[in-house]
C-alpha cells in the first residue's frame, strides 16, 4: 500500500468520523429542543388573555367625537365611561369568559345546559371521574417510532375537589361510609376522597349546588380537579319565567293590529284608513297623533290617542305599540295605502313558520329598503364602529325564497308585539330616525325582509307646516343624533352606506 493510498484512507476515515459526530450532535440537539417544549405536568385551565383592540372605521365614516362640543367633551366622555361600566355589570356574567376544554382528561362534567333557579338546591348532572390511564414501559416498534402502552391503573386513593364562587355545594349524607372522606359539605369548596372509585363517583352523582344570593339571571363558574387535571364549567342561575303566549283566534283581526303614527296629514291618514277597511273591515287600528291641532278620527275598531304636540315619531310609535293586545302588529306610515298586494296573512304565515323571527318587513311599491349592520365593538376607551350597509342581507329563509334575513327593514313591517315592547323606540329621536330602532335591537331582534307582500305610497302633498317639522333646517336634529350615538351606543364612528 502506497503512502498516497494510506493518506486517502485516513482522510476518508476522518470525514466519516466528523459526519457521524455531526449526526450525533444534531440528534442530541433536536432531542433537547423537544424536551424544552414539553408542557408542564398539568392541564389546569389558565385564563386566556384577549386584548381589546381598536376597531377600524369604514372609509367615509363620521367620527362622532368630533360632533361633541370641545368644551364639553371631557365631561361627556367621563359620563359615558361610567355608564358603560354599569351597562357591563348588567349584561356580563361568568358566561362571557372563554373556557378551553382540557385534553385527555379523566374528568366528566356538564359543559352546557345546567341551569338552576336562584337560592334553590339542584343536583349537578354528569360529574364523574374515569380511572386515569397509566403508562407502562415503552416498547420499541416499527424501527425508530416509540409507543407507550396505556392501561387502566388501580390507585390506592382518589381525591377530587369541586369549588364555586357564588354558591354552596353539598352531597348526600347517606353515602358517607367509612370508605369516603368528605370535607366542606355545605360550603363553597367540597373535597371527596375514597379508596373506591365506585363510591367516589356515587358521592359525586349526589352533589348539589345552591346559589347563595338572589339574581334573576347570572352565572357561576365551577372548578373541578383531580391530581394534575382541572376543568371549569358554567352554572347558569336563572329565575324561571312565566310564558307569555297569545290566543291567535280564528281570523286575522284577532291576530294583528295596525299601528300608525300621524302628524298633520289627516288627508293622507283618511285615505289610508279607507284602503284598510276595503281589505280588512274589522281589524283594529291604533293611531298615535301628535298634531298641533288634533282632529277627531272616528270609526269602529279605530283607537286614536292624542299626544302633546310635536312629540315625535318614536314617542308616537311607543304609544301606539303599548296599546296593542294582539300577538302581532303591522306598522304603516300615514301616507301608505293598502292594495291587493297587501296580504297581512302572508306575513303572519312567515312569522308562524319561523317562531325565532321578531320582525318581517315587506316592500313599499316594490322596494324593500332593507339593510345590514356591521358592528365591531372595538376597545372600551374609543368605542365601537358601526356601518349600515344599504341593501345588505344574509341568507334566504328555508321554504320562503322571497324572504331574507337582514338587520333592518322599511317602515312597513309586521312585528311580534311582546318583543318590540321590550325593545322600544327611543323617544329622544323625534324626526330623523328609523334605522336607530334596529341599531338598538341589534343582537336581540331577528329580522327578515320579504318581497312578496307590498303596500302602496300616496302621492306627496306639499305642506309647509309639515315640512317645517319633518325636515328641520340647520342640522340640529342630525347633530343631536350623532351625539346620542356617541354616548348611548358607545360608538367611535358610524357610516350610513
**Could you read off the pLDDT of 169-218 as tens digits, one per residue?**
999 877 777 889 999 999 999 999 999 999 999 999 999 999 999 999 99
**Which domains are assigned to the chain?**
118-134+149-238 (2.60.40), 252-496 (3.90.550.10)
pLDDT of 42 strictly over 90:
no
Residue 172's closest CA among 217, 213, 212, 124?
Answer: 124
Alpha-carbon span 43 to 101, nearest angstrom:
9
With a CB cutoff of 8 Å and minimum separation 6, the contacts of 334 are 260, 261, 262, 263, 265, 268, 269, 272
pLDDT of 487 strictly over 80:
yes
pLDDT of 121 strictly over 60:
yes
- Compute, in degrees rounded to 10, the torsion defined by CA atoms 150, 152, 157, 161: 80
pLDDT of 34 strictly over 50:
no
Confidence of residue 20 (pLDDT cuts 50, 70, 90): low
pLDDT of 139 strictly over 60:
no
Portion of the chain with pLDDT greater than 70, in percent? 83
pLDDT of 252 strictly over 90:
yes
At residue 19, the pLDDT reads: 56
At residue 172, the pLDDT reads: 87
Q: What is the mean pLDDT of residues 468-472?
A: 63
Alpha-carbon span 249 to 307, nearest angstrom:
31
pLDDT of 447 strictly over 70:
yes
The pLDDT tens digits of the residues spanning 217-227 come to: 999 999 999 99
Residue 330's closest CA among 202, 416, 405?
Answer: 416
Q: Which residue would you say has higher pLDDT here, 206 or 3?
A: 206
Q: What is the mean pLDDT of residues 124-138?
A: 75
Paired strand residues for 78: none
Q: Of the given ranges (157-161, 163-167, 244-248, 282-286), which has the lowest mean pLDDT?
A: 244-248
pLDDT of 35 strictly over 50:
no
Q: What is the mean pLDDT of residues 58-67?
A: 94
Cα 397 to Cα 373, 446, 448, 449: the distances in Å are 19, 12, 8, 10
Strand ranges in 24-87 using DSSP code E only, listed in sequence order: 62-63
End-to-end CA separation in angstroms for the chain: 91
- Compute, in degrees rounded to 10, the torsion defined by CA atoms 458, 461, 465, 468: 80
pLDDT of 17 strictly over 70:
no
Please work out, in degrees rounded to the nearest 5, the angle formed at the alpha carbon of residue 452 by the alpha carbons of 447 and 455: 90
Alpha-carbon span 104 to 135, nearest angstrom:
13
Q: What average pLDDT does the chain have?
A: 85
Q: What is the mean pLDDT of residues 275-293?
A: 96
Confidence of residue 103 (pLDDT cuts 50, 70, 90): confident
pLDDT of 151 strictly over 70:
no
Amino acid at each position: 500500500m502506497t503512502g498516497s493510498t494510506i493518506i486517502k484512507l485516513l482522510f476518508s476515515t476522518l470525514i466519516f468520523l466528523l459526519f457521524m459526530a455531526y449526526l450525533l450532535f444534531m440528534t442530541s440537539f433536536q432531542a433537547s429542543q423537544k424536551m424544552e417544549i414539553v408542557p408542564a405536568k398539568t392541564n389546569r385551565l389558565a385564563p386566556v388573555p384577549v386584548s381589546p383592540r381598536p376597531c377600524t372605521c369604514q372609509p367615509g365614516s363620521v367620527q362622532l367625537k368630533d360632533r361633541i362640543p370641545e368644551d364639553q367633551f371631557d365631561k361627556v366622555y367621563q359620563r359615558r365611561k361610567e355608564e358603560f361600566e354599569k351597562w357591563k355589570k348588567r349584561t356580563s356574567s361568568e358566561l362571557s369568559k372563554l373556557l378551553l376544554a382540557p385534553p385527555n382528561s379523566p374528568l366528566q362534567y356538564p359543559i352546557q345546559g345546567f341551569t338552576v333557579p336562584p337560592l334553590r338546591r339542584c343536583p349537578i348532572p354528569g360529574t364523574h371521574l374515569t380511572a386515569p390511564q397509566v403508562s407502562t414501559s415503552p416498547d420499541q416498534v416499527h424501527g425508530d417510532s416509540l409507543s407507550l402502552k396505556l392501561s387502566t391503573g388501580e390507585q390506592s386513593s382518589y381525591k377530587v375537589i369541586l369549588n364555586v364562587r357564588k354558591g354552596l355545594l353539598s352531597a348526600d349524607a347517606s353515602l358517607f361510609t367509612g370508605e369516603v372522606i368528605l370535607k366542606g359539605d355545605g360550603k363553597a369548596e367540597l373535597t371527596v376522597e375514597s379508596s373506591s372509585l365506585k363510591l367516589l363517583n356515587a358521592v359525586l352523582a349526589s352533589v348539589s349546588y345552591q346559589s347563595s344570593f338572589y339574581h334573576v339571571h347570572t352565572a357561576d363558574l365551577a372548578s373541578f380537579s383531580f391530581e394534575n387535571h382541572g376543568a371549569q364549567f358554567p352554572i347558569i342561575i336563572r329565575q324561571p319565567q312565566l310564558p307569555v303566549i297569545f290566543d291567535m283566534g280564528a281570523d286575522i283581526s284577532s291576530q294583528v293590529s295596525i299601528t300608525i303614527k300621524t302628524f298633520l296629514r289627516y288627508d293622507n291618514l283618511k285615505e289610508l284608513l279607507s284602503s284598510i277597511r276595503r281589505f280588512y273591515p274589522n281589524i283594529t287600528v291604533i293611531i298615535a297623533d301628535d298634531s298641533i291641532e288634533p282632529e277627531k278620527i272616528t270609526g269602529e275598531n279605530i283607537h286614536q290617542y292624542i299626544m302633546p304636540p310635536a312629540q315625535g315619531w318614536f314617542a308616537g310609535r311607543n304609544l301606539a305599540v303599548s296599546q296593542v293586545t294582539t300577538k302581532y302588529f303591522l306598522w304603516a306610515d300615514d301616507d301608505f295605502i293598502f292594495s291587493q298586494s297587501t296580504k297581512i296573512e302572508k306575513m303572519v304565515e312567515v312569522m308562524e313558520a319561523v317562531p325565532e323571527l321578531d320582525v318581517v318587513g315587506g316592500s313599499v311599491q316594490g322596494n324593500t329598503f332593507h339593510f345590514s349592520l356591521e358592528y365591531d365593538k372595538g376597545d372600551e376607551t374609543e368605542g365601537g364602529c358601526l356601518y349600515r350597509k344599504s341593501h345588505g342581507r344574509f341568507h334566504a329563509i328555508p321554504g320562503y325564497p322571497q324572504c331574507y334575513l337582514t338587520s333592518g327593514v322599511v317602515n312597513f313591517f309586521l312585528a311580534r308585539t311582546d318583543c318590540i315592547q321590550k325593545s322600544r323606540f327611543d323617544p329622544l329621536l323625534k324626526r330623523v330616525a328609523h334605522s336607530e330602532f334596529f341599531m338598538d335591537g341589534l343582537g336581540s331582534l331577528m329580522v327578515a325582509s320579504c318581497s312578496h307582500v307590498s303596500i302602496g305610497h300616496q302621492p306627496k302633498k306639499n305642506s309647509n307646516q309639515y315640512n317645517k317639522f319633518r325636515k328641520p333646517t340647520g342640522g340640529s336634529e342630525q347633530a343631536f343624533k350623532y351625539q346620542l350615538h356617541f354616548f348611548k351606543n358607545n360608538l367611535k364612528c358610524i357610516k350610513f352606506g
